[in-house]
A = this chain, B = another copy of it.
């Protein structure tokens, strides 16, 4: 497969983005820096919380997913970033040692009216632990169109 352009991201496509293991030490270091809430830092505080255990910051989960998306799709693409998304869901707590299987589904795609060299792709990204979806975000990805490629 060559470089992924706008034209490759057709609605309905499901693209696997590999697996990542949640590393205990990195999970804690992330929480200490960006999300130092007790249930992200301390096992006992996690057990007492609604999360039921020492759980990853949702932003760590989102960032782990992002890296999978870069490695498995964006790195060889005409991506030009994202203006944002909707429906951000942390569906279940994520714990150290969890194996997160990452995936994306293309929901829709259209060429930009103001900049026809760019296409806007609506994507739902998700992470699963076994069959359980633990994270989801629907967002817009901006990609160059093949027609405009140099």
Q: Which residues of A contact B (CB under 8 A)?
A: 30, 33-37, 39, 49-51, 55, 57-59, 62-64, 66-67, 70, 74-75, 79-91, 118, 137, 139, 142
Contact = CB atoms under 8 A, between A and B. Distances in A.
A84 B80 contact: no
Chain A's interface: helix, strand, loop or mixed, by majority? mixed
B142 A35 contact: no
Contacts of A64: 34
A139 B88 contact: yes
Contacts of A74: 37
A83 B58 CA distance: 9
A36 B67 CA distance: 7
Among A49, A81, A90, max chain B CB count under 10 A is at: A81
Contacts of A58: 81-82, 84
A49 B80 contact: yes
B89 A83 contact: yes
Given A35-B63, A35-B66, A63-B59, A83 B90 contact: yes
